[in-house]
Amino acid sequence: MKKIEIIQCWKSGRLNSMVYVKENKIFKIVEKKENYNRPFNYDKETAEELGDREWFDETKSIFTDTIVISHKNKCYQFINNEECNASAAFIDYYKRLINEYNSIV
């Protein structure tokens, strides 16, 4: 089994993706997404200059955990521990991820 970790960061959040591969096939994806309350460079001074009463505070981040499991050619998606139907957009994303992985291997 292989684990590939992808970390993406931007001003308003970050995404940690862990892709698990067994027998050259992706069988599990775990994503932890963090959305910040304000951009990370939006400090108290900037907020006050702009008349805002809120600035970046990591404790106010909103977290979303997504787990996707591929089993017997079916795709199962869990968001914050609740199973949900994988949307067409998510299935397309999953297929793109598989194709990108296969092009690297």
The distance from CA 44 to its chain's CA centroid, rounded to whole angstroms, is 28
Statement: residue 83 has pLDDT above 80: no
Whether 26 and 10 have beta carbons less than 8 Å apart is answered as no
Q: In this predicted model, what pLDDT tens digit does every residue of 3-44 receive, in sequence order?
A: 989 899 999 999 998 988 888 777 888 999 999 999 999 999
How many domains, the chain? 1
Place of tokens 């139907």: 85
Strands (E), the chain: 2-10, 13-22, 25-35, 62-71, 74-79, 82-84
Domain that holds residue 72: 2-104
DSSP state of 39: -
What would the two tokens of residue 29 be?
A: 């994806």
